[in-house]
Amino acid sequence: MEKISERFLRYVAVDTQSDPESESQPSAAKELNLLKMLKDELNAMGVEASIDEWGYVMGTIPSNCGKDVPAIGFIAHADTAPDAPGDNIKPQIIENYDGSDIALKGVEGLFLKVSEFPELAQYKGQTIITTDGTTLLGADDKAGIAEIMTAVEYIMEHPEFKHGEIKIGFTPDEEIGRGVVKFDVSRFGAKYAYTLDGGQIGELEYENFNAAGASIRIQGRNVHPGTAKGKMKNAMLIGMELNSLLPVEQRPEYTSGYEGFFHLISFKGEVETANLAYIIRDHDMELFEKKKETIRRCVDFINEKYGEGTALLDLKHQYYNMRKEVEPHYHIIEKAVKAMEMEGIKPKIQPIRGGTDGANLSFMGLPCPNIFAGGHNFHGKMEYVPLESMEKASKVILNIISLFAE
């Protein structure tokens, strides 16, 4: 069998960054490079797998347990986030980590510091894979892909391992909120599924944010600064004013747990025009709707002050909290808990401060909680993943399969 570390490093070497500005699916053609590779690898293992026109890879391993057990799916996304560079990745492999700060050698003076990321301490003595400080790593969610593929390889090479029907799914565009828009749940054929898209070891999640995206275009007026009095409308300054109207305490850096936020993810502009992009999140539906109303009121205020049409809001739904769709099938959570405990892992059941493909899939009729993939500091240059966490996640997959086949 290929080592999970080798498999992971092969996958992160493929640039699969999705493009939020694109209307196609996949949003970036380069995502297909990895998705087609995964389909071919599944086929080479002896798994019947295909890729459709939208980039969805689906594979099936037939049951060999002779029992009537539900088909179980395992899903991960192939794209990486557009928040940091995603190509030419140069991973650093720190074996037998000594517990000290880690130099990210691609940028002089940049360190992964224990004082800033104290969870590093729990991985002393393990092997840690980091970025070199110039790109993201791609553990979100290529760690999940590597874990699933490693479990699949084990199953195919060990016919004595008893299991029901297993479904494998890999998706594009999860990072831009369109991961399963065209996913055919009935064709996939699983009764229950799990995404391998969580963070540190032990995480188990069946609650996530309600989510919306807001794009605001500011129309200013540019005239020569020498004659600007009473005439100029600086779109950048108006955009900054609009942002200042939103509650400071509801920014991501000041929230945790079930607390929602407004997150300014992009601000581009000149005097004439400016564009702001936000993501809006809250676990509670009533508070979520209030947040959407707040941003509408901020836009209205700007238009009242500077003239109608100064600010144009485009507010779009992204996904809802999957708790109400998963909780009636709580036995799938209990099996995941037991599967972790079988590996000596203490489960951490908590809300996702984000979203996964599983959120939308749950509303599409496929209850789909989220399991840890092992990574930390997703979407940025400080991203890292402990090798041992990936190895444990792959074993948890096998344990879940065994528990359903009992």
pLDDT band at 1 (very low <50, low <70, confident <90, very high): confident
19 with 120, same domain?
A: yes
- Residue 177: the pLDDT is 81
189 with 220, same domain?
A: no
131 contacts 89 by C-beta, under 8 angstroms:
yes
On average, the pLDDT of the chain sits at 95
228 with 375, same domain?
A: no
Strand partners, 360: none
- Residue 251: the pLDDT is 97
DSSP string, 304-333: HHH-TTSEEEEEEEEE---HHHHGGGTHHH
- Order the strands of the 128-130 sheet from edge to edge: 92-94, 128-130, 384-386
- Over the stretch 271-320, which tens digit does the pLDDT of each residue have? 999 999 999 999 999 999 999 999 999 999 999 999 999 999 999 988 88
- Over the stretch 144-173, which tens digit does the pLDDT of each residue have? 999 999 999 999 999 999 999 999 999 999
205 annotated active-site: no
Dihedral in degrees, nearest 10, Cα atoms 290, 291, 297, 302: 170
The residue assigned the tokens 């509801």 is 250
From 296, 319, 342, the end of a domain falls on: 319
- Residue 124: the pLDDT is 97
| Residue of 245, 350, 341 lying closest to 300 (CA atoms) | 245
Q: Are strands 348-349 and 203-205 parallel, antiparallel or unpaired?
A: parallel
What's the CA gap between 155 and 163, in Å, rounded?
A: 9
* Cis? peptide before 85, omega within 30° of 0: no
Residues of the domain holding 189: 4-208+321-405
334 with 295, same domain?
A: no
Q: What is the CATH number of the domain that holds 348?
A: 3.40.630.10
239 with 349, same domain?
A: no
pLDDT band at 355 (very low <50, low <70, confident <90, very high): confident
Q: Is residue 176 predicted with pLDDT exceeding 90?
A: no
Strand partners, 17: 80
From 319, 336, 363, the end of a domain falls on: 319
User: Which of 24-33, 272-281, 356-365, 379-388 comes out lowest in average pLDDT?
Assistant: 356-365
- Over the stretch 211-247, which tens digit does the pLDDT of each residue have? 999 999 999 999 999 999 999 999 999 999 999 999 9
Residue 304's φ and ψ, nearest 5 degrees, are -70, -35
| Residue of 203, 187, 30 lying closest to 195 (CA atoms) | 203
Residue 17: DSSP 8-state: B
101 annotated active-site: no
Total number of domains constituting the chain: 2
* Cis? peptide before 141, omega within 30° of 0: yes
Of the residues 15, 19, 41, 79, only one is catalytic, namely: 79
pLDDT (mean) for 31-51: 98
- Residue 317: the pLDDT is 87
What's the CA gap between 169 and 52, in Å, rounded?
A: 12
pLDDT (mean) for 35-39: 98
Q: What is the CATH number of the domain that holds 216?
A: 3.30.70.360
Q: Is residue 352 predicted with pLDDT exceeding 90?
A: no
- Over the stretch 82-116, which tens digit does the pLDDT of each residue have? 989 999 999 999 999 999 999 999 999 999 999 99
382 contacts 143 by C-beta, under 8 angstroms:
no
- Residue 318: the pLDDT is 84
pLDDT (mean) for 30-54: 97
pTM tops 0.95, yes or no: no
204 with 229, same domain?
A: no
162 with 26, same domain?
A: yes
Residue 237: DSSP 8-state: H
17 with 160, same domain?
A: yes
72 with 19, same domain?
A: yes
From 319, 342, 376, the end of a domain falls on: 319
What's the CA gap between 278 and 250, in Å, rounded?
A: 13
Of the residues 132, 173, 174, 383, only one is catalytic, namely: 174
276 with 344, same domain?
A: no
300 with 356, same domain?
A: no
Strand partners, 103: 111
Handedness of CA 8, 10, 13, 15 (dihedral sign): negative
Neighbouring CB atoms inside 10 A of 138's CB total 31
Rounded to the nearest 5 degrees, what angle is found at the Cα of 137, between the Cα atoms of 133 and 139? 150
326 with 295, same domain?
A: no
pLDDT (mean) for 368-388: 96
CA distances in angstroms from 32 to 35, 45, 173, 294, 364, listed in the order given: 5, 20, 11, 39, 24
Q: Tell me how far apart the 2 most distant CA atoms of the chain are, in Å.
A: 84
pLDDT (mean) for 74-79: 97
- Residue 71: the pLDDT is 98
